[in-house]
Amino acid sequence: DAGVIQSPRHEVTEMGQEVTLRCKPISGHDYLFWYRQTMMRGLELLIYFNNNVPIDDSGMPEDRFSAKMPNASFSTLKIQPSEPRDSAVYFCASMYGTDTQYFGPGTRLTVL
């Protein structure tokens, strides 16, 4: 099993640009989570899906952030427009009904 796959692994962009992060969960998992990790705020849950449906998006910082899960094997997190304070490592995780989340390697985003 390849585990959770995230792309890109690193992204450097300029303020105001659109950024799209991608995640492929483990096959068969029915939950998908997006997290953001920074030194200041630690690991924060942004949004999670169950069977492709967003369940809790209360952690999404503002309207500049949006997430979609068009099918069971793909999800995106989009930031438009990006700002320097969005710089962080973004993790995707998936789970199948056991409370055990499997994390991807993360995308390190730098917004200049």
Partner 1 sequence: SQQGEEDPQALSIQEGENATMNCSYKTSINNLQWYRQNSGRGLVHLILIRSNEREKHSGRLRVTLDTSKKSSSLLITASRAADTASYFCARPSGSGTYKYIFGTGTRLKVLA
Number of residues that bind partner 1 (CB under 8 A): 24
Q: Which is nearer to partner 1, 31 or 65 (CB)?
A: 31
Site string for partner 1, 6-45 (x = CB under 8 A): -------------------------x-x--------xxxx
Q: Which stretch binds partner 1 (CB under 8 A): 19-27, 55-63, 67-75, 79-87?
A: 55-63
104 binds partner 1 (CB under 8 A): yes
> End-to-end distance of the chain based on CA atoms, in angstroms?
36
106 binds partner 1 (CB under 8 A): yes
Q: HSE (CB half, 13 Å, CA atoms) of 59?
A: 18
Site residues (vs partner 1, CB under 8 A) = 4, 31, 33, 42-45, 48, 50, 55-56, 58-59, 91, 93, 95, 99-106
